[in-house]
Structure 1
Amino acid sequence: MLSFRVLGPLEISLDGRSLPAPRGPKVRQVLSLLLMDPSGHVNNAAIIEELWGQDVPRTAISTIRTHIYHLRRALEQNAAGLTPPGTVPDQLIVTRQSGYSLCPDGVQLDSARFLAQAREGDRLLKAGDYAGASDRLREALDLCRGATLADVTCGPVLLQHVRHLEEVRTRALEQRIEADMHRGLHRELVPELRSVVTVHPLNEWMHAQFITALHRSGRRGDALHAYQNVRKILGDELGLEPSPALQRLQRQVLTAAPVG
Structure 2
Amino acid sequence: MFASPSWRRGLPGGIVKFQVLGPVEIETEDGTQVSPRALKLRSLLAYLCAHHGEAVSSGRLIEALWSGAPPQTASTALHVYVSKLRKHLQSLDLDAAALITTQPPGYKLRLIGCDLDVYEFDRLLGTAREFRRNGDREKASKTFEQAISLWRGQALEDLRSIPAFESLGRRLDERRSFAHEQRFELELELGNHKALVGEIYALLDDRSTWENLYAYLMVALYRSGRTAEALATYSRVRRNLVEDHGIEPAPRLQRLQHAILTHAPSLDDCGADQLVGVNAA
TM-score after normalising by structure 2: 0.83
Distance 1:108 1:212 in 2: 38
Are residue 105 (structure 1) and residue 112 (structure 2) matched? yes
Query: Which of these residues, 200, 203, 206, is aligned with residue 193 of structure 1?
Result: 200
Distance 2:175 2:238 in 1: 26
Query: Which of these residues, 46, 69, 78, is aligned with residue 83 of structure 2?
Result: 69
Specify whether residues 185 and 104 from structure 1 end up closer, same or farther in structure 2 by C-alpha distance, changes over 3 A only: same
RMSD over aligned CA atoms reads 1.9
Q: Secondary structure at the match of 1:23?
A: coil
Equivalence for 1:237:
244
Distance 1:154 1:110 in 2: 22
Equivalence for 1:119:
126
> Given residue 9 of structure 1, which amino acid in structure 2 is its aligned partner?
P
Equivalence for 2:59:
45
Specify whether residues 68 and 149 from structure 1 end up closer, same or farther in structure 2 by C-alpha distance, changes over 3 A only: same
Equivalence for 1:54:
68
1:30 Cα deviation after fit? 1.0
Specify whether residues 89 and 17 from structure 1 end up closer, same or farther in structure 2 by C-alpha distance, changes over 3 A only: farther
1:52 Cα deviation after fit? 1.9
TM-score after normalising by structure 1: 0.89
The count of aligned residue pairs is 252
Mapped contact 1:26–1:51 kept (Cα < 8 A) = yes
1:199 Cα deviation after fit? 2.5
* Percent of aligned pairs with the same amino acid: 34
Q: Summarize the alignment of residues 146-157 of structure 1 with structure 2, pairs less than 5 Å apart.
A: 146-152=153-159, 155-157=162-164
Moved over 6 A (4+): none
Q: Tell me, which stretches of 5 or more residues in structure 1 are unaligned?
A: 80-86
Mapped contact 2:160–2:166 kept (Cα < 8 A) = no
Q: Secondary structure at the match of 1:61?
A: helix
Q: Tell me, which stretches of 5 or more residues in structure 2 are unaligned?
A: 1-14, 271-281
Mapped contact 1:37–1:161 kept (Cα < 8 A) = no
Distance 1:17 1:185 in 2: 34
Query: Which of these residues, 198, 213, 218, is aligned with residue 225 of structure 2?
Result: 218
Distance 1:222 1:147 in 2: 29
